[in-house]
Amino acid sequence: MTATTDGSTGALPPRADSASEEVHLTTPVAAGVQEAAARAVQRATDFLLAQQDAEGWWKGDLETNVTMDAEDLLLRQFLGIRDEATTRAAALFIRGEQRADGTWATYYDGPGELSTTIEAYVALRLAGDAPDAPHMARAAAWIRERGGVAAARVFTRIWLALFGWWKWEDLPELPPELIYFPKWFPLNIYNFGCWARQTIVPLTVVSAKRPVRPAPFALDELHTDPAHPNPPRPLAPAASWDGLFQRLDKVVRGYRTIALRRLRGAAMNAAAGWIIERQENDGCWGGIQPPAVYSVIALHLLGYDLEHPVMRAGLESLDRYAVWREDGARMIEACQSPVWDTCLATIALADAGVPADHPQLVKAADWMLGEEIVRPGDWTVRRPGLPPGGWAFEFHNDNYPDTDDTAEVLLALRRVRHHDPERVEKAIGRGVRWELGMQSKNGAWGAFDADNTSPFPNRLPFCDFGEVIDPPSADVTAHVVEMLAVEGLAHDPRTRRGVDWLLAAQEPDGSWFGRWGVNYVYGTGSVVPALVAAGLPAAHPAIRRAVTWLESVQNDDGGWGEDLRSYRDVKGWSGRGASTASQTGWALMALLAAGEKESKAVERGVQWLAEAQREDGSWDEPYFTGTGFPWDFSINYHLYRQVFPITALGRYVHGEPFAGRGTGAAGRPRADAEGS
């Protein structure tokens, strides 16, 4: 056994050949790797085509952790709308996710996590589970051993404060006057990433109002000392950034006592206007669950009753995050990923040999074209003169298109032979122009905003959970660079700046960090194809270092995997973990782009995918290979296990993709893309 940096004790990454019961052998090795790959591609393609919705999109479940389910119940309790059927179904799911030691983790096979366990425990108490029941007693004992509620993150203690289980006075201040801070001020709301911005604005109202709804029970069993449940937290040294911001929080607390009532009221009303302006047509906020939850609470506290159209639409949107399972359990998705899933599925199918004019690919292209965002959003704060032209991640999110989805949508559209090529060309032209305009000053790309790199938001005592800024990352930059290269802009100075940034961002061992996927395997699997598409030869030293690294972390069974612990313990876990279909696909995509088709590493990886495939053409993957915030918020995209193996196997069987075979030839500049 080996000790991990989070304090848990975990086994070294397992090898698939020592756990063969998890791998269903379907293709005899003797049939030959090429033949096995071709057969796997055909079966996987048939399976994926069958998953397409009649409207043209694909969407797999987006699985995170039980805080989504717990907070959904707490919201319903706070609003007085919790019903027995919903509670019973949510509790069934939450109980099913509990580990043997009584805890809940944030990802499959991960260590128990304190705040997650507290929220799950409280949700089960709401569902009627007795505190002396064995599964509850184990959880409570573990919570107390880790410091109890007092050691939980701020967001967990906010939820408890809503019911009087924690004192508002012992939470960091978040004044609604923040809405008035000018855009040049170091802590204005636009210095936060879009997901944090959408959450913090409504929370300023909640923080100002400090509501308490009577708790249906006490939580003394979750405190180390029930007589003193709110122990003070130690101050960091005054000379440190953390110490400075802790003391700044004390100043803001003092301001609360002298804040002008009219100014505070106006600030809360301004926050309400900001929230309502950003509500989507389907009632959600940004297509993600947490901002919707806090927005509903904030507006309710400001007097919006539950029958108000804004509130009614918001509550109805929350129901659409629910996934009902066959056993009657109800899982809440933090977000939904149809645009992302659809463009990745289109790329996978095209690269697997599905004809460019296949009706299902054309239908997917039609749906993606209809999802283009043609109005300004918050990104215009830093790019006020840039016309719209991007795509978002979700069904409904016109305020926050992102560069990652936009790049992959354009790569997908370029693979389809559409019946209206002029419409496609115009959409691609707008998308390329928008991507070029969203480039940050350092030459790279963030996901939602340009130059969202302020060091201050992450220092706030309020922000103790995950990333709250959106700096450029290697994976996103790679996808944009690859798209620009396909569009004939490989030699454009802006593309070359992106390439230079990627080369400078390479780790000493040859890998690249993965911001939105786990982790170095994802980053490397994204960057190598992009650099090759942009014209770097396979013999380039950066490409060779990446190949060497990928070969060095290949598992004994032939696959690749990486545990989320690599975000905390780089040396111990980088590139290490149980083999998964998606991560094996990423590694193979990089190796194939680097010209390694005939290598033993590629052969073994392809063989692993063929052997791990299930009878119906799919792959099983319980491991979480996506991230919302590295380590803090992990995601299991249920379609990743399908699209990335198909992409890799398709490129192995059919060769590297010629992305211009659809609407037009690649390798020439697009007139619409000239200039920014």
Pick from 399, 434, 557, 414: nearest CA to 487: 414
CA angle (606, 609, 615) in 5-degree steps: 135
- Decide if pLDDT at 365 tops 60: yes
Query: What are the chain's domains?
Result: 32-60+337-453+473-673 (1.50.10.20), 63-225+235-332 (1.50.10.20)
Q: Which of 351, 404, 492, 563 is catalytic?
A: 404
Lowest mean pLDDT among 129-138, 168-177, 300-309, 315-324: 168-177
| pLDDT tens sequence across 375-426 | 999 999 999 999 999 999 999 999 999 999 999 999 999 999 999 999 999 9
- Decide if pLDDT at 617 tops 80: yes
Backbone angles phi, psi at 90, to 5 degrees: -65, -45
Lowest mean pLDDT among 5-9, 224-228, 594-598, 644-648: 5-9
Q: Which two tokens stand for residue 394?
A: 């979700």
CA distance linking residue 645 with residue 36, whole number of Å = 13
C-beta atoms surrounding 135 within 10 Å: 14
Q: Which two tokens stand for residue 355?
A: 């004809």
| pLDDT tens sequence across 198-236 | 999 999 999 999 999 999 999 999 999 888 877 776 666
- Decide if pLDDT at 314 tops 60: yes
Per-residue confidence at 243, pLDDT binned at 50, 70, 90? low
Residue 61 is among the residues annotated as catalytic for this protein: no
Q: Which residues pair with 425 in a beta bridge?
A: none
The pLDDT value recorded for residue 674 is 42
| pLDDT tens sequence across 471-528 | 999 999 999 999 999 999 999 999 999 999 999 999 999 999 999 999 999 999 999 9
| pLDDT tens sequence across 548-576 | 999 999 999 999 999 999 999 999 999 99
| pLDDT tens sequence across 439-463 | 999 999 999 999 999 988 877 767 7
Amino acid identity, residue 521?
V
- Decide if pLDDT at 676 tops 50: no
| pLDDT tens sequence across 267-296 | 999 999 999 999 999 999 999 988 999 999
C-beta atoms surrounding 39 within 10 Å: 18
Query: What is the separation of C-alpha 538 from the centre of its chain, rounded to a whole number of angstroms?
Result: 31
